Amino acid sequence: GAVVSQHPSWVICKSGTSVKIECRSLDFQATTMFWYRQFPKQSLMLMATSNEGSKATYEQGVEKDKFLINHASLTLSTLTVTSAHPEDSSFYICSGVGTGYRVNYGYTFGSGTRLTVV
């Protein structure tokens, strides 16, 4: 089945630094990648949607200059948290979907990245 590999699984960084999270679709071409944020005991909150080769679409209230998304190829999308602050500490999850997958196969999620900013 479709697999999305997400790295790192956890990261601790100092306040003010930037962190990059990668998501790779291993056996399918992810034409669209979704990035979510999840707070403890809450459901997933969609941050942005990225389509391969074009700019990401951000949800209302999400700072596009803080959360940089790149989807330069059909198998790789990255989320960079720039100038991270403690309030950015959260669990970030990506989800990929390929052409035709939305209807026929559903969505595949990465294993998540626990970001802690100290």
Partner 1 sequence: KQEVTQIPAALSVPEGENLVLNCSFTDSAIYNLQWFRQDPGKGLTSLLLIQSSQREQTSGRLNASLDKSSGRSTLYIAASQPGDSATYLCAVPDGGGGNKLTFGTGTQLKVEL
Q: Which residues contact 40 (CB under 8 A, 6 or more apart)?
A: none
Q: Which of 56, 58, 108, 117 is in the footprint of partner 1 by CB under 8 A?
A: 108
Cβ closest to partner 1, residue 29 vs residue 83: 29
Q: Which stretch binds partner 1 (CB under 8 A): 13-21, 41-49, 67-75, 82-90?
A: 41-49
Q: Which of 81, 93, 115, 117 is in the footprint of partner 1 by CB under 8 A?
A: 93
Q: Round to whole Å and give the CA distance between 89 and 114.
A: 8
Q: Round to whole Å and give the CA distance between 29 and 9.
A: 22
- Cβ pair 31, 73 in contact under 8 A: no
Is 91 an interacting residue with respect to partner 1 (CB under 8 A)?
yes
Q: Which residues contact 71 (CB under 8 A, 6 or more apart)?
A: 33, 50, 51, 52, 53, 54, 56, 77, 78
Cβ closest to partner 1, residue 6 vs residue 75: 6
DSSP 27: S
Q: Please, what is the minimum distance in Å from the beta carbon of residue 83 to partner 1?
A: 25
Is 110 an interacting residue with respect to partner 1 (CB under 8 A)?
yes
Which residues bind to partner 1, rule: CB under 8 A? 6, 32, 34, 43-44, 46, 49, 91, 93, 95, 97, 102-103, 105-112, 114
